[in-house]
Homo-oligomer: A and B are copies of this chain.
Amino acid sequence: MTLTVHHLHISQSERIAGLCEELGIDYELKTYKRAPLLAPPDYKALHPQETAPVIQDGDLTLAESGACTEYICHIHAQGQLFLPPRHPAYADFLYWWHWSNGTFMPTMMKSMSLRSLKLSGDSSHMIMTNSRFKRAFTALNDRLHNNEWLAGSSRWQISWLCSCSLPYGIGFPTVWMSTRMWPSIFSVLGGQRGISEGDEKV
């Protein structure tokens, strides 16, 4: 029974394919191009939610990044990456695991949405969103300044985030997006994704 990862280009499903690679899991990758902005009909037909990622495993079709990640780690990788409650870094692990989709991703998406509306920078919406955006990146940078991994000594690390959210953010031109402001994030990304000083957007 082969695990199938349905990957929509430029979407959160990149994280799931990256996870399978990191865990060394045997999986089949099916890719879909956007048509032109949203998912094509054959991708939407995979799951009623019509979002990426979607995985299939035998009769199971599963959506939602967090669910797919947790399912793959526990069903196909003996619980790798997930720390048990008895682990000293358990609370740290829980925080960064849920922070990635509970705070970081919504903040990024809202920022992208408001910027596309071309709101004035001094509107209350932009001020609040920019503040949250900056706080999120500052928190991540601070965490990576003295920690190789996001949660203690586990392999849970920035790659789950940076497979999607961070490149999105980095692709958005803003005065905050600089190697000077967040050197630790760019240092880690530089090693993992080939992003260098020259890629900064100011």
The residues of A with any CB-CB pair to B shorter than 8 Å are: 48-51, 60, 62-67, 70-71, 74-75, 79, 85, 90-91, 94-95, 97-99, 101-103, 105-106, 109-110, 113-114, 116-117, 119, 125, 135, 139
Which of A48, A94, A116 has the most C-beta atoms of chain B within 10 angstroms of its own C-beta?
A94
Interface of A is mostly: helix
| Inter-subunit contact A103/B49 (CB<8 Å) | yes
**Which 4 pairs of residues, A with B, have the shortest CB-CB distance?**
A66-B98, A67-B94, A74-B85, A67-B98
Chain multiplicity (copies): 2
Which of A64, A79, A114 has the most C-beta atoms of chain B within 10 angstroms of its own C-beta?
A64
Subset of 29 A-B contacts with CB under 8 Å: A48-B139, A49-B135, A49-B139, A51-B103, A60-B91, A62-B91, A62-B94, A63-B95, A64-B94, A64-B98, A64-B99, A64-B102, A64-B103, A65-B98, A66-B97, A66-B98, A67-B94, A67-B95, A67-B98, A71-B90, A74-B85, A75-B85, A101-B101, A101-B102, A102-B105, A106-B109, A110-B113, A113-B114, A117-B125
